[in-house]
Chains A and B, each alone.
Chain A
Amino acid sequence: MASVTISAPEVKPAAAGIAFILKKAAISAFIALVLFSLMVGVRTEAGPTGQLTYWTRFGELAALVAAVFAGSIVIEILRQWIGPAGAGALVPPALQHAIKTAARLVAPALLLFTLLVPVIFYDQRYILDLGVLVLTYVMLGWGLNVVVGLAGLLDLGYVAFYAVGAYSYALLATSLGLSFWEGLPLAGILAALWGVMLGFPVLRLRGDYLAIVTLAFGEIIRLVIVNWQSLTGGPNGVSGIPRPTLFGIALTPADDGLAAKLGIPFSPTHRIVFLFYLILALALLTNWVTIRLRRLPIGRAWEALREDEVACRALGINTTTTKLTAFATGAMFGGFAGAFFATRQGFISPESFTFQESALVLAIVVLGGMGSQLGVALAALAMIGGFELFRGFEQYRMLVFGLVMVLLMIWRPRGLIGHRAPTVYLKQAQTISSDLVREGHG
């Protein structure tokens, strides 16, 4: 089948092409017909008495099959039009240069815009809430980026640390009465400890195995939260989590609240704006720490580990501490984000910490190019913004998310901004005098 594509194109290219395209589309449509026949063509539902009934939906089935037929033709034409892979990537050098210059301005411009968002959109609560949500995912993405992007350890259970952070703060605050600023570092530390606890057993694993163990770990944490009702409230969650304060000053309409102290009328928007800047500060802290760490020996060890673990060991890098610090650092940021999530919502339940969250954060990191801080931020914006577009079609959201993930891997497996250059490297080639190396000891 595969060899058919190279059949002599010079004889009658157009006619042969059309026949080939139609044949391929017809095969695709037939496969689609079989695939969708029972699943889409028949709808089952339990009736009022519990008896299962079904009805047919041949209209939808026909529409889907027709869509596959048409889509297959379009894809095939596009493929022939664009030609073999790589031909379309020709961008004139001038344009390339312009893109590079513009790219350097994206990060500062984005930061400036983010700082101004509460000013510009002060009256639009929806946008502010969305901004807080996007920034939460930016922070989670940057946190996971330490583990996946820098150290190259595929973590499918990142949401576990998010959950640990959220529940740590929630329980500390509701049972011991700790304030947000006391609870935040504790939540981070506890999450980091869990990161080390997960890190220890999985030190010897790599790649796929590591991914599946972290996934199992995330599920274990969630199941324990669901079932340990006396501590966590089980599926009912924890409610009445205290709101954050501005260094002890509450953002409430009370007499000692911020609005009263400043002498301005109280507005609930104050709290949203405060939350916005709070998560922005936390996210920027994550970013700053990551950037600094990358230049330290430990950050360089992470990047080396990502490239080649065996070479790493041969060079005397302690892979144990390298992996554990990566897990702990990533987990700590996840814990911070979790504590913020808990204080923002005021209520948390295990439903917020499913595998889908882990996959979403991972998709953000991968889409962002695994290692690129700017890419992760843009990816979080695109993903969460894209999810908002599906607000009316809630049930199609995860379906489209999955499709995007598959297509992205096929189209650009390295993410939108592929970035794997080491952070620190020698600026010029160095030569060593032969006095310093004896033969056989180079």
Chain B
Amino acid sequence: MDYFAQQLINGLVLGSIYGLIAIGYTMVYGIVGMINFAHGDIFMIGGFMALISFLILVSFGLTAVPVILLIVLIVSMAITALYGWTVERIAYRPLRHSFRLAPMLSAIGMSFVLSNYSQVAQGARVKPVPPIIPGGYALYTGASGFVVQLSNVQIVVVITTIVLLLIFTWLVARTRLGRDMRACEQDQTMAALLGVDVDRTISMTFVIGAALAAVAGMMYLLYYGLVDFFMGFVAGIKAFTAAVLGGIGSLPGAMLGGLAIGLIETLWSAYFSVEYKDVAAFSILIVVLIFLPTGLLGRPEVEKV
């Protein structure tokens, strides 16, 4: 039971990271109707941005961890958001009215570009960092002597995720931009007729998605203490699975799906086998699409002829 509680904590933390990435997938799918295949690599870029800015700040002699974290967060969000904007501008916008498969293939190409770009720029080896936020709390000791722990990193990850989700929800529900986004999701032509700048709204969708992915990348760096150029691929598919599981197009669904995937992956690793944890996640994707194509919170898709 104590072991289970520990895995539950770990799973929820991992799930928060997946959820943040999944929001990017689900937003883009909702508005543009394409799978942004490069989104996993945007997450990877975010991780690298956090790593590099962290290194620079430390070498400048900054020691106050909260200040460092705040600056790293802002820098990596800003630059990664620009990556998201650029990717949309270069690879997706010219293809918006092209045939069905074109944006998907372009996105796959972009995914190769981003991951190999960071391999060329930063080398293929894994980049480790020492624990940035050390320490933690022992919650309680179980009957068998197993200590259930909650580390400070886990607290930071969960709190940051919650705060960002609150800001994000406010953005979508209350601001002009959020209203434009919801309008574009329903009917782009009608939104354009009513004075919504569709191009700008779609760009902003990518920017917000990339910024959230950057946060996920930074959390990943804090939590696991490493980044490498290839981490976007698997994380991207898992986050996409989360988005599908939650119901693609649904924002709370993405977060719910992320938590579910994080929990399943952690529990699977803990009780069955670590080697097959990715197989488990991918199998869930297939099973969900077959038996529950609309996901947990999604709306059924009406097919128009």
Contacts and interface: CB of A to CB of B under 8 A. Distances in A.
Given A39-B118, A366-B105, A413-B99, A402 B289 contact: no
A217 B49 contact: no
Interface in A190-219: 201-202, 204-205, 207-209, 211-213, 215-217, 219
B82 A406 contact: no
Contacts of A37: 79
A116 interface: no
Interface in A396-417: 396, 398-399, 401-406, 408-410, 413-414
Contact of B52 (A38, A208, A223): A38
A2 B305 CA distance: 33
Interface of A is mostly: helix
Interface stretch (B163-171, B258-266, B271-279): B271-279
B281 to A, nearest CB: 9
A410 to B, nearest CB: 5
Across the A-B interface, the 9 shortest Cβ-Cβ residue pairs: A405-B109, A402-B112, A402-B113, A399-B116, A216-B282, A409-B106, A406-B109, A413-B102, A227-B275
A310 B305 CA distance: 8
Interface in A1-43: 2, 31, 34-35, 37-40, 42-43
Contacts of A423: none
Given A212-B35, A399-B113, A402-B113, 7 more contacts: A2-B199, A39-B48, A44-B127, A52-B129, A402-B114, A403-B109, A406-B110
Contacts of A207: 100-101
A63 interface: no
A356 B109 CA distance: 10
Contact of B82 (A35, A223, A401): A35
Contact of A413 (B95, B112, B285): B95
Counting chain A CB atoms within 10 Å of each CB, the highest count among B95, B283, B289, B293 belongs to B289
Contacts of A212: 35, 237, 240, 244, 285
Main secondary structure of the interface of B (DSSP, over half): helix
A211 B113 contact: no
B86 A46 contact: no
B192 interface: no
A255 interface: no
Interface in B121-165: 121-123, 125-129
B233 interface: yes
Interface string A363-395: 100100000000000000000000000000001
A39 B82 CA distance: 13
Contacts of B244: 209, 212
A251 B279 CA distance: 41
Contacts of B190: none
A31 B86 contact: yes
Contacts of A42: 52, 55-56
B3 interface: no
Nearest to A207: B100
A187 B34 CA distance: 36
A34 B78 CA distance: 9
Contacts of A310: 303, 305
Contacts, number: 175
Contact of A220 (B34, B119, B283, B290): B283
Interface string A347-368: 0000000011001001100100
A39 B121 contact: yes
B289 A205 contact: yes
B111 interface: yes
A50 interface: yes
A406 B120 contact: no
A2 B197 CA distance: 11
B109 A208 contact: no
Contacts of B100: 207
Interface residues of A, number: 59
A98 B94 CA distance: 32
A205 B59 contact: no
B108 interface: yes
A376 to B, nearest CB: 15
Interface of A: 2, 31, 34-35, 37-40, 42-46, 50, 52, 54, 154, 156, 201-202, 204-205, 207-209, 211-213, 215-217, 219-220, 223-224, 226-227, 310, 355-356, 359, 362-363, 366, 395-396, 398-399, 401-406, 408-410, 413-414
B10 to A, nearest CB: 22
Contact of A406 (B51, B106, B127): B106
B52 A54 contact: yes
Nearest to B123: A45
25 contacts: A39-B121, A42-B56, A44-B52, A46-B125, A46-B126, A46-B127, A52-B129, A54-B52, A54-B55, A54-B59, A205-B293, A207-B100, A207-B101, A208-B34, A209-B289, A212-B240, A216-B241, A216-B286, A223-B275, A362-B108, A399-B113, A401-B112, A405-B106, A413-B102, A414-B99
Given A213-B286, A406-B113, A359 B108 contact: yes
Contact of B286 (A43, A201, A356): A201
Contact of B276 (A223, A355, A396, A413): A223
B104 interface: yes
A223 B279 contact: yes
By CB atoms of chain B within 10 A, which of A40, A215, A216 has the most?
Answer: A216
Contacts of A202: 286, 289-290
A356 B282 CA distance: 18
The CB with the most chain B CB atoms within 10 A, among A38, A40, A212, is that of: A38
Contacts of B91: 406, 409-410
A219 B278 contact: yes
Given A217-B286, A223-B276, A406-B90, A39 B128 contact: no
Contacts of B43: none
A38 B51 CA distance: 10
A38 B120 contact: no
Contacts of A35: 79, 82-83, 86
Contacts of B286: 201-202, 213, 216-217
Contact of A44 (B35, B94, B122): B122
A398 B109 contact: no
A20 to B, nearest CB: 18
B212 interface: no
Contacts of B79: 34-35, 37-38
Contacts of A362: 105, 108
Nearest to A403: B113
B98 interface: yes
Contacts of B103: 409
